[in-house]
Structure 1
Amino acid sequence: MAFGVDESVSVLWGVSRTGILSVWELAQGRMVHQIPLSESENIVCATVDARRRSFVLGTQDGKLLPGSFTIQMTSVPEEEVPAQIRSHRPSPAAETKVVIEGDAAWWTAGQGLWRNSRVSVSREDPVVLGDRAVVLVDSSFRGETRLLAALTEDRVLHVGTSEKKLNFLTGEETVTFSGGSLELDAELGESFPSYLCMSGVGDSVYLLWQDGRLLRVDTRVVDAPQVAERLRVTRGNDTITAFGQLIGKNTLLIGTRDGEVSAWFPIKPENAKTPDGVQLVQGHIFRKGPAAAVCFGPSQRSRLFSVAYSDGTVRVFHATSEQLVAEDRFVAEVTASSAHGSKPLSAARNAAKSWETHISAVAIGPKEDALIAVEKHQAQLWRLAAPHAGITLRSVFGRVWYEGYPKPEFVWQSSSGTDDFEPKYSLTPLIFGTIKATVFALLFAVPLAFLAAVYTSEVLHKSVRAYVKPSLELMAGLPSVVLGFLAALVFAPWVETRLPQVLAVFYTVPFALLLGGHVLRVLPRSWQFVAARYRFWTILVACALGIALANYAGPLAEKAFFHGDIKAWLNGRVGSGTPGWAFVLLPLAGVFVAMTQILWIGPTLERFLPLASRQLWAWIKLGLFLLGVVAAFFASFLLGWLLTHVLGIDPRGLFLGTYVQRNAFVVGFVMGFAIIPIIYTIADDALTAVPDHLRAASLGAGATPWQTALRVVIPTAMSGLFSALMIGLGRAAGETMIVLMAAGNTPIMDWNIFSGFRTLSANIAVELPEAVQYSTHYRMLFLAGLCLFVITFIVNTVAELVRLRFRKKAFQL
């Protein structure tokens, strides 16, 4: 009924339906132990947990007999073996010497070593269910508590817990049992189910009939089990011929007469109509077999499982990737297919000269280095090598349906705290995080760096420029670990407590700068000449006023538009999406209003006021500016209302969402300051390198300095500006310490600017020190580094082609 091999693949053990434990040594195929797991002689059914070596036996008189067994294996040098054991002589036909003495077995292992095996059985107090025979039984563990499920002859399902309690005073250990029962209704027919199993933590019990009917019972409250779900797991008239569970006992393996093998596991969808909110789904379908599936052998350490078919074929699959890892038919060449291509698989066959086609059990070794198939009193052993069976191109870059997930997803999760955890190695969230970090960093850095370069090279006086440019270049010398430290421990907490004010700065500072420019034009001409000499300092004053204005405007906007709590609004607990759209669309609305004033309203007023003085025009433009601000404000809210209430699009869930302290906003802002000096320096040098005769020609033709910069200098220096952008992009994509310390390191795929992420470089820095050398995890980290190199190589290649095109156009000027 249940079989397994030890870690050294030297002994095979099996438990029969009548509760007999048998142990064979595999070198010669001789039985070395045969021990009854119970003293009772009326055992009718049994269940065995191969990982825990625990068992539960069901009796004819309605009792459950739980317990466990151990098989101790030791290797002993020949000189330490007792003399009476060495004195036994093996038979001439035997390749090894096997000696059985008492409860121990000895046999030669070669190279001057002997192996010794001892079997011990620990029996617990019986659990009495009644006087009716137990038909099916299974058990699971929730911590140290054993959960039991049994179906008796009177069609009653019994569910309960068996818990050991130790009396610290007397040292006596007692076992208590408590639970409930559920009678199968008449709708299920009079036939008994063919299979019964519990989930890993005992919150569900599955009853499966041979015709494909499945009944799931909710056993979260063992005193009151209830039917949670009824479904059919086969197609048409197909019947079930094999059943098993993967490690963790949450995934059901179902094999049919037509050779179809599928994996089913519970999920928690949003629209579940079951009492416990859980729904059983078919997550994976594997390559169809040549005949009916007869038995399964799950691995004890991963999602590998073996399946045997009625024609003698044996296959090994990886459940999550659906990959066929190995396949063989008895006494045939063994071949294996893996993610690394096809290669021969070494095989060793013992105690099997000829085979029939009725395999009774298959098992994978504890180290996944062996595969064994059993038929009657014969066994066949293969050496198995499948170290990275779960890695395929689809599992690394595509969506994978993992156990318990409501749908196929991109997931990176390399470790956890339980033995049945399945590592998830999708690089897509890490690539997405790298792109997200780069985009938000460039979003902050590029406008500031380019505008600063244009201003210092075309407008700022050379005496001031001599101090400004070196100061900005010195910023490049700041270690990224210092910036990351400041971002994580200073800037992120500060932003969290002042989020409305920080967001308001992005609007109040530009407003203060533009308003200051219009106010200067209103001043008398003598004052304007004085202000022009101190233009740089007036800009700093305007920026300071904008920051001060944000300190008041932010809380007012939060109270007026975000119900007084912007974080609650971001979580979706209050308000609609209109204010969020208005906040995002306000710059676009401002640009639209400004273009409308420049292209239509301004020329119209010039026609009606041809003799207006310079001072009057300054006042008119100041008024138009203020009216434009109001118009842009209302236009952005109107567009936000249309998007939210007419089209039904809410920004929360797109690029806004729940606020997390360490997020892309913080990373983008701090990383922007790390790459601004690089972009600025290269861009400033490119603009400065433009020949002066081009500027002189433009100014001589009547163009203003600003028009000259936009239409002559920038197009000429475009190749250098693009190079600055690409170098900044590479710096942002490869940044490690700032992202590592300030991004939260959560590998999620979300464009929310207020959520965290994990990049390829940060992931390597975090996980490489703890990765086991040459393991799948270790190799995936190197693959992540290779992906980062490939991405950078492709981007730089495209950037070089674009730069050469810009340079060719510049030479044509």
Structure 2
Amino acid sequence: MLTGQKHLSSKGSSAQLGEFGLKDPGALAGLKLNDTGREIVLVSRSGRAILLVEYDGEMLLQGTSSLLEGEAVGEARVTAVGYLAGNVSLAVGDSKGRIAIWFPVAGTDGKPSRLVRAHVLEPGPAAVTALAGSGRSRMLAAGFADGTVKVYNVTAERVLGVTDSGGGSVADLAVAPREDRILVGGETAVALLALEAPYGEVSLHTLLGKVWYEGYAGPTYVWQSSSASDSFEPKMSLVPLISGTLKATFYSLLFGLPLAILAALYTSEFLPREQRGRIKPVIEIMASLPSVVLGFLAALVIAPLVEQVAVQVIAVLVLTPACVLLSAHLWQLLPRETAARLEQWRPVAVLLSMALGCAVSWQLGPIFERTLFGGDLKSWLDGQIGSGTPGWVVLLLPLAGMAVGWLNLVYGDGLIRGVGSAWTHRSVALLDLGRFLVSALATVALALFVGWLLDSVGWDPRGSVLGTYVQRNALVVGIAMGFAIIPLIYSISEDALVSVPDHLRAASMGAGATPWQTAVRVVIPPAMSGLFSAAMIGIGRAVGETMIVLMAAGNTPIMDLNIFNGFRTLSANLAVELPEAVKDSTHYRVLFLAALTLFAMTFVLNTAAEGVRLHFRSKTKRL
């Protein structure tokens, strides 16, 4: 530095073109080096691409590809080659005016990287003579032999503009850094063209269709609006966000809807009026809990707890309803006089049976984990141990229970009624208890058999409905959001059931129906429009919920059905990204489109729900 002398040193590696079948340097159509300086692509005019990697001073052959797929030898030749932003994706033009985009994809099972053709752009009227990519986006300018200039967006596979340069065959192109000018060098003239192509990276296909993004193994749905790299390719598919919204809604309704409607049915038909007047306000107070508080509790309390005792939680969801049903059958064994005297204690008995079910499930959880999941649920979910049969059993138990319940409804009730007049009350109750126990065993056996059958043919639930366990997942969101929607559904459902005229109940009871038969077959049908409205309001709350899913769902925009994985909803995405989006940018406008999509979903859902509600109401308006 002080003497002004300059020293230059270099090191690297070299390779002979003949080693790769390119003896004539003039046969090369392009020689490209990526940003790392270690990956080289040689493209011959015959369409052969050679991928080289410099490693430890040597040039290693990674693979070869044919860039003119489906063409006979000599029918077409590569005439232009250029990199897109980031120097990874390679644009290749040929003598027939066609342009394809290629990029390397990592091999699987130890295989080297390979070039794949990801995009095919609209062809031009003549041979491609020049290609130039923008330095800030996936914009590509192409010049043709007849002087035509086309501007594309590669991700969307859209033509953004077409013009004639007026200078003959295009020899060279350059795109300005701001993407507002294109410099065209022709045979007879040089032209500077103005360019205005805003929001070129967005189309209906990129928003709702599968797109093959740079470096991915195939076309997929991805939402990733930003990155630390200037050469980043925006990925703005709304499908993962819509999928996350539907996933959150489904699991929250799966948890909250049955509890809310059954609670409303119990308080309106079985609970004394004075107790109903105290319980209903308490449940309605739950609606005043801020969703941010529920999200906070879900993220910092429920999620870590469920992660530690996931098997126990699953056992509680399965065994607690079974324990309540078993307690109900045992209650029938009481003498009629004793049951009548203890009628006011029936709610306490229900609560005790629920507590007993939770306690038994908590104690059996570790046993289930050792027996079904090899002692480690997370390893089992990752596919490291065990078969898929236990997962199918858990998933199929509700369906098996409904199937066995339907058989009981068709054949079992007739059996009970047939012996009811000849047997004593206790004998009928014992028969009914035996029927329940046999049905429970049949449910487990059916789920086990079908699960084993599915696993035997190679259908493993891991990787689809089940998968890797993530702490903040759909199960946690379902529990937290279920508590958010239960008060709304319960309050409206209870009002709808109470509004059914009492003379219908009196007529049913006078005809000899039991309170349960009266509730199911007489009270629910007239109240169906109100029950449906309650469910729709709960769905609307779940679809639009923001803070709970933002804090408890992991906020990862991925698409899968795995209940143990996270997701991102439309509303949560708006809350996260809109404050940071540049005003009037493509990202900014796509976020407003996401908001419009959310509005459209709720509008269509509520419109359809209103039609169904009116249909139910028209059937019962004379009552």
TM-score exceeds 0.5? yes
SS at 2:347's partner residue?
A: helix
Q: 1:602 to 1:385 in 2, by over 3 A?
A: closer
Residue 98 of structure 2: which of 250, 257, 260 is its match? 260
Aligned to 1:485: 296
The alpha-carbon deviation at position 361 of structure 1 amounts to 1.2
The alpha-carbon deviation at position 180 of structure 1 amounts to 3.2
The CA deviation string for residues 125-173 of structure 1, in whole angstroms up to 9 with x for no partner, is xxxxxxxxxxxxxxxxxxxxxxxxxxxxxxxxxxxxxxxxxx9x99999
Is it true that 1:798 corresponds to 2:608 in the alignment? Answer: yes
The alpha-carbon deviation at position 382 of structure 1 amounts to 1.4
The alpha-carbon deviation at position 719 of structure 1 amounts to 0.8
Q: 1:214 to 1:543 in 2, by over 3 A?
A: same
Residue 325 of structure 2: which of 514, 534, 555 is its match? 514
Aligned to 1:633: 444
Is it true that 1:767 corresponds to 2:577 in the alignment? Answer: yes
Measured in 2, the distance between the counterparts of 1:538 and 1:172 equals 95
AA partner of residue 230 (structure 1): T
Is it true that 1:424 corresponds to 2:267 in the alignment? Answer: no
Q: 1:424 to 1:172 in 2, by over 3 A?
A: farther
Measured in 2, the distance between the counterparts of 1:690 and 1:602 equals 27
Decide whether the 8 Å contact of 2:389 with 2:455 is kept in 1. Answer: yes
Q: 1:377 to 1:174 in 2, by over 3 A?
A: farther
AA partner of residue 248 (structure 1): G
Q: 1:743 to 1:599 in 2, by over 3 A?
A: same
Is it true that 1:292 corresponds to 2:106 in the alignment? Answer: no
Once superposed, what is the RMSD of the aligned Cα atoms? 2.2
Measured in 2, the distance between the counterparts of 1:323 and 1:243 equals 19
Aligned to 1:361: 172
Aligned to 2:24: 191
Measured in 2, the distance between the counterparts of 1:242 and 1:601 equals 78
Measured in 1, the distance between the counterparts of 2:262 and 2:359 equals 23
Is it true that 1:226 corresponds to 2:51 in the alignment? Answer: no
Aligned to 1:144: none
Is it true that 1:750 corresponds to 2:585 in the alignment? Answer: no
AA partner of residue 613 (structure 2): R
Decide whether the 8 Å contact of 1:586 with 1:632 is kept in 2. Answer: yes
Decide whether the 8 Å contact of 2:65 with 2:114 is kept in 1. Answer: no
Measured in 1, the distance between the counterparts of 2:141 and 2:562 equals 43
Decide whether the 8 Å contact of 2:416 with 2:428 is kept in 1. Answer: no
The CA deviation string for residues 740-771 of structure 1, in whole angstroms up to 9 with x for no partner, is 11111111111111111111111010001110
How many residue pairs are counted as aligned between the two chains?
A: 617
Measured in 2, the distance between the counterparts of 1:480 and 1:548 equals 29
- For normalisation by structure 2, the TM-score amounts to 0.95
Q: 1:176 to 1:517 in 2, by over 3 A?
A: farther
Aligned to 1:182: 15
Q: 1:709 to 1:173 in 2, by over 3 A?
A: farther
Write the mapping of 1:22-61 to structure 2, written as runs, cut at 5 A. none
Write the mapping of 1:100-139 to structure 2, written as runs, cut at 5 A. none
AA partner of residue 284 (structure 1): H
The alpha-carbon deviation at position 224 of structure 1 amounts to 3.0
Of the two, which has the highest radius of gyration? 1
Q: 1:594 to 1:802 in 2, by over 3 A?
A: closer
The alpha-carbon deviation at position 812 of structure 1 amounts to 4.7
AA partner of residue 282 (structure 1): R
Is it true that 1:242 corresponds to 2:83 in the alignment? Answer: no
Measured in 2, the distance between the counterparts of 1:671 and 1:415 equals 29
Is it true that 1:207 corresponds to 2:42 in the alignment? Answer: yes
Aligned to 2:156: 321
Stretches of structure 1 lacking an aligned partner (at least 5 in a row): 1-166, 332-354
The CA deviation string for residues 594-651 of structure 1, in whole angstroms up to 9 with x for no partner, is 44455445655776897432223323332333333223222211110011103x2211
Aligned to 1:569: 380
SS at 2:542's partner residue?
A: helix
Measured in 2, the distance between the counterparts of 1:542 and 1:459 equals 17
The alpha-carbon deviation at position 738 of structure 1 amounts to 0.5
Aligned to 2:586: 776
Decide whether the 8 Å contact of 2:132 with 2:140 is kept in 1. Answer: yes
Q: 1:434 to 1:173 in 2, by over 3 A?
A: farther
Decide whether the 8 Å contact of 2:93 with 2:100 is kept in 1. Answer: yes
Decide whether the 8 Å contact of 1:571 with 1:657 is kept in 2. Answer: yes
Is it true that 1:527 corresponds to 2:360 in the alignment? Answer: no
The alpha-carbon deviation at position 377 of structure 1 amounts to 8.3
The alpha-carbon deviation at position 708 of structure 1 amounts to 1.2
SS at 1:548's partner residue?
A: helix
Aligned to 1:672: 482
AA partner of residue 235 (structure 2): K
Measured in 1, the distance between the counterparts of 2:541 and 2:381 equals 31
SS at 2:491's partner residue?
A: helix
Decide whether the 8 Å contact of 1:694 with 1:712 is kept in 2. Answer: yes
AA partner of residue 469 (structure 1): K
Decide whether the 8 Å contact of 2:420 with 2:428 is kept in 1. Answer: no
The CA deviation string for residues 436-456 of structure 1, in whole angstroms up to 9 with x for no partner, is 111111111110111011111
Aligned to 1:311: 146
Decide whether the 8 Å contact of 2:29 with 2:80 is kept in 1. Answer: no
The alpha-carbon deviation at position 425 of structure 1 amounts to 1.0
SS at 2:150's partner residue?
A: strand
* Percent identity (aligned): 48
Measured in 1, the distance between the counterparts of 2:8 and 2:532 equals 75
Measured in 1, the distance between the counterparts of 2:582 and 2:420 equals 80
More displaced stretch, 740-749 vs 508-517: 508-517
Q: 1:290 to 1:222 in 2, by over 3 A?
A: farther
AA partner of residue 488 (structure 1): A
Q: 1:623 to 1:729 in 2, by over 3 A?
A: same
Is it true that 1:389 corresponds to 2:200 in the alignment? Answer: yes
Aligned to 1:143: none
Decide whether the 8 Å contact of 1:718 with 1:810 is kept in 2. Answer: no
AA partner of residue 305 (structure 1): L
AA partner of residue 590 (structure 1): G
Q: 1:680 to 1:171 in 2, by over 3 A?
A: farther
Measured in 2, the distance between the counterparts of 1:479 and 1:172 equals 71
Measured in 1, the distance between the counterparts of 2:507 and 2:11 equals 96
Greater share of strand residues, 1 or 2?
1
SS at 2:279's partner residue?
A: helix
Measured in 2, the distance between the counterparts of 1:513 and 1:171 equals 91
Q: 1:521 to 1:564 in 2, by over 3 A?
A: same
Decide whether the 8 Å contact of 1:245 with 1:252 is kept in 2. Answer: yes
Is it true that 1:441 corresponds to 2:274 in the alignment? Answer: no
Decide whether the 8 Å contact of 1:487 with 1:666 is kept in 2. Answer: yes
Measured in 1, the distance between the counterparts of 2:342 and 2:125 equals 89
AA partner of residue 190 (structure 2): A
Measured in 2, the distance between the counterparts of 1:191 and 1:794 equals 65
Decide whether the 8 Å contact of 2:260 with 2:487 is kept in 1. Answer: yes
AA partner of residue 257 (structure 1): S
Measured in 2, the distance between the counterparts of 1:184 and 1:263 equals 24
The alpha-carbon deviation at position 176 of structure 1 amounts to 5.3
Greater share of helix residues, 1 or 2?
2
Q: 1:191 to 1:175 in 2, by over 3 A?
A: same
Aligned to 1:697: 507
AA partner of residue 471 (structure 1): V
The alpha-carbon deviation at position 681 of structure 1 amounts to 0.5
AA partner of residue 298 (structure 1): G
The CA deviation string for residues 180-226 of structure 1, in whole angstroms up to 9 with x for no partner, is 3333446615222332112333442111111111111133x242322
The alpha-carbon deviation at position 428 of structure 1 amounts to 1.1
Aligned to 1:107: none
SS at 1:225's partner residue?
A: strand
